[in-house]
């Protein structure tokens, strides 16, 4: 009798535990289902493509309209107007100045070298290589940001051109520079000649002379570099920035 009673108690306990387990499992299922219903449905491929299309259409609406009459006179400071090249037609291409104002320059013929969008603004840098001159400008305002030539057809404002010598550069600019020279042995830059009224800093290395000046308006460095071979100019590069 005792064994039978003990067996009944065990059976009741097992049934009770089974019921509790089923209740617990159902409770978990209910929680999972509730949380799942609260979750947003995943985007389908069609939705993703549609959203991407919306973003692209917004981007396409941002157009860059060039200001061909942009006033560049604010860059007529003594240093900036030195950083220019003249061609054999007496046309002047000057750093930061409006290329659209250069007589008979075909500004519609260019290669896009950089283009990006920030918020509602878009930017484009254009480049043209023609008649032995490579020139890059800001499409929006025409501001020239880089020039390069290996041809004697182009000269600086002071008449320096490819084929001239190092002594010609010194003769043309020597009174308006303070001179630095790189010490390759000790690997440091040394100030060779001070000039409190200097328009440029003159940096001399083995194969290049660079005349640098700061532009406070554009908050950048401007440089006119003469590349040398046996102390004769083989290339002239004028640019802003690094």
Token output for 118: 């920030």
**pLDDT of res. 121:** 79
In the predicted model, is pLDDT for residue 233 greater than 70?
A: yes
Q: To which residue do tokens 């002047």 refer?
A: 92
Identify the band that residue 218 occupies on the pLDDT scale cut at 50, 70 and 90: confident
Percent of the chain with pLDDT over 90: 60
Identify the band that residue 9 occupies on the pLDDT scale cut at 50, 70 and 90: very low
Q: How far apart are CA 129 and CA 135, in angstroms?
A: 6
Q: How far apart are CA 129 and CA 25, in angstroms?
A: 76
3-state secondary structure (DSSP) of residue 174: helix
Bridging pattern class, strands 220-229 and 133-138: unpaired
What does pTM read for this prediction? 0.72
In the predicted model, is pLDDT for residue 19 greater than 70?
A: no
Per-residue pLDDT reduced to its tens digit, 28-82? 344 434 443 443 444 444 443 344 343 343 335 457 888 899 999 999 999 999 9
Q: How far apart are CA 96 and CA 74, in angstroms?
A: 10
**Mean pLDDT to the nearest integer, 14-40:** 44
**pLDDT of res. 206:** 86
3-state secondary structure (DSSP) of residue 150: coil
Q: Enumerate residues 6+ apart whose C-beta is below 8 A from 75.
A: 81, 94, 95, 96, 97, 215, 217, 218
Token output for 109: 């013929």
**Mean pLDDT to the nearest integer, 185-200:** 91
**Mean pLDDT to the nearest integer, 103-127:** 90
**Mean pLDDT to the nearest integer, 167-173:** 98
- Count Cβ atoms below 10 Å from residue 212 Cβ, excluding itself: 16
Q: To which residue do tokens 């220019």 refer?
A: 84
Identify the band that residue 122 occupies on the pLDDT scale cut at 50, 70 and 90: confident
In the predicted model, is pLDDT for residue 135 greater than 80?
A: yes
Contact, 238 vs 161, CB < 8 A?
A: no
**pLDDT of res. 27:** 46
**pLDDT of res. 176:** 97
- Which comes out higher in pLDDT, residue 238 or 121? 238
Bridging pattern class, strands 200-204 and 188-193: unpaired
Q: How far apart are CA 98 and CA 139, in angstroms?
A: 10
Alpha-helix residue ranges (DSSP H) falling in the chain: 2-38, 45-61, 166-173
The DSSP string of 61-91 is H------TT---GGG-STTGGGSEEE-TT--
**pLDDT of res. 141:** 93
Percent of the chain with pLDDT over 70: 74
Q: How far apart are CA 209 and CA 206, in angstroms?
A: 8
User: Taking the CA of residue 143 as centre, how many other CA atoms within 13 Å lie in the half-sphere pointing to its CB?
Assistant: 18
Contact, 238 vs 95, CB < 8 A?
A: yes
């Amino acid at each position: 009798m005792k064994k039978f009673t003990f067996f009944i108690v065990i059976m009741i306990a097992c049934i009770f535990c089974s019921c509790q387990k089923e209740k617990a499992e159902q409770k978990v299922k209910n929680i999972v289902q509730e949380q799942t219903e609260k979750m947003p449905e995943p985007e389908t491929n069609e939705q993703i493509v549609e959203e991407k299309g919306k973003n692209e259409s917004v981007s396409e609406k941002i157009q860059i309209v060039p200001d061909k009459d942009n006033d560049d006179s604010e860059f007529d400071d003594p240093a900036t107007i030195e950083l220019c090249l003249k061609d054999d037609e007496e046309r002047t291409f000057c750093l930061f100045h409006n290329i659209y104002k250069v007589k008979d320059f075909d500004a519609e013929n260019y290669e896009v070298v950089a283009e990006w969008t920030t918020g509602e603004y878009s930017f484009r840098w254009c480049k043209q290589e023609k008649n032995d001159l490579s020139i890059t400008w800001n499409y929006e305002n025409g501001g020239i940001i880089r020039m390069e030539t290996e041809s004697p057809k182009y000269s600086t404002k002071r008449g320096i051109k490819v084929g001239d010598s190092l002594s010609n550069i010194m003769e043309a600019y020597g009174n308006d520079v303070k001179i630095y020279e790189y010490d390759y042995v000790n690997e440091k830059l040394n100030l060779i000649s001070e000039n409190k009224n200097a328009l440029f800093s003159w940096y001399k290395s083995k194969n290049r002379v660079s005349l640098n000046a700061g532009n406070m308006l554009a908050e950048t460095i401007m440089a006119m570099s003469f590349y040398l071979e046996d102390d004769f100019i083989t290339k002239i590069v004028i640019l802003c920035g690094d």
